[in-house]
Structure 1
Amino acid sequence: MNLNTTNTLVPLTLAGLADPLEKDKLGFAYLSHASRTVTSATTFSIAQRRDFIGLHFNLGARVHYTINGKSYSLRPQQYALVCVPTATYQCTVAPGRSETFSIHLSVEYLQRLEAHFPILSEMLKSIREQQFFSASEKILECTTDMRKKINEILHNDWTGICWQTFMNVRVLEILLECLNNIAMRNTKQLTRHRLELVRKYLIDHLQDRFSADAVAGKMKIDKHKLRKDFKAMYNVTMQQFVLEERMKRARAFLRDSKLPVSEIAASIGYKKLSHFNDLFKKRYGYPPSHLR
């Protein structure tokens, strides 16, 4: 196994977020680039001498990590925003050329961005508690623009203050793009969870008079957004969903119970038996009495 590693120390500043006189308090970014070639799957131990909090990109073959009993894998061109306490962990590299790039950020630097990205609060808490933490349940894909910026960091001809400014800008650009991607992913996960709760609520209240506005108010979701997101996720409107669930429940009751048709209709929200009969026949092509 041939291993090539480059570590770079970049003094950090945050233009607009920090007083120039306080810029030294932001600490440093440690940029680490490693590449290796293996002919077969290889597992080795890495002794981490300091807490890692930052971005880790896999630019080569698949790699699998086991850290304090927790595991995660990175396929080619994937990355993770992680907090890893000081530890010795296992790394398994797939055959071929492995290449990773990491941006280790200081706590002080991330604290300046914490108000804009709440996920950073959880990461900083994990560092204090010495717990492993990943900012997204799912690993994210490295975009073309992100890869371009990484290449510019690894291969540029700047020197002196120009180099420091250039590296600061690129580190911040990559970090902000990653944080925005994670925020969007987590928002989508939250939206899915809330819609699943809405779906469960509708199923549990089939006997109630249906009102999309009332459901939105009950679930504390904007009514227009709820209608749009529900249709996008389930491919039906809430009203169509409720109707279908009512008909399915009615058919099950008609087949499996001896309850009167009128009682079944009332149990799913229909006071008028004639209205229920019409809807049932329209849905299944035969009247409820056909199942009796």
Structure 2
Amino acid sequence: MKNDLFKDFVATRSHINSNNHGNIGFKNNYISYEVNFFNSGNGLSYCAHTTKCNNELKLKVARGERDYYSIFFNHKGSPNVIKSKDKTFILNEGQMCISSAPRYDISRYYKSGAEYNTQTIVIDKNLADRLNISKLITKFEFGTTNITLKQRQIFHELSRVNLLNSEFQGLFLEAKILELIYYICDDNSLEVTSLSNDEIKTLNKAKDIITTNMQNPPSIKQLAKMCATNEYKLKKEFKEYFGNTIYGLLQEKRLEKSKVLLEMNDISIKEAANLVGYASMSHFSKIFKERFGVFPSWIRKK
């Protein structure tokens, strides 16, 4: 099992290292792993990982030959357990941490039955030195901090890169990643949200309601009433906290679920569209192509 799993990861990493951007992954009896990646070619790279485990796993990243910084983000999903040097981090949802490599091996632990949705930014030390941010990055090393609202918004923008023409994707991704690094390193840019814990709970409740009722979601007026708030406040704070509008986030979740359904290959495109709340096939195909860069029929053939 370990040898097969190791070969799968080696093949995946080899593909990432030899290409500028793309999507790759594998699935076996032990793990389902998918990664969207981008390499700028000048010392900056970004990966968005989705990992589902059927067994407990430990993956070790050994020391490499070049110096770089890895910034780990647990944007959503199960807590990540990361061990670097003599410290172990519990990276909960909504947190980030920074580690230097290759000075230390990095081990990541995965629990059986858990799903992990993480992002990693890798910055070559030479690039960090040129940008004069090495000292700022190391200041945060071996500690966790919360992901700010502004950083959440950037993650959302990164997830929509397929909306752009391919010739602009690299430029857009590099600009957004550098913007994200700026908001990590610049103390003055750290945002203090005015949202209370109760308001955040209300926003998460609203999100849960619309994502569990995709076929027949409530109107914003009904949603506000269900969450004991008013429409204006709900729309404003929802956009601030999640970096997307209510119906924008609903569309994202609908498309993500439809893609998963189509990948199962046991339902038709029309059935998948209907299950997530789309009655018009032409509209569904259009926005699916905008989001993922391919039509639903391509997913079925794959």
TM-score interval for Structure 1 and Structure 2 normalised by the shorter chain:
0.3 to 0.5
Indicate the structure (1 or 2) with the bigger Cα radius of gyration: 1
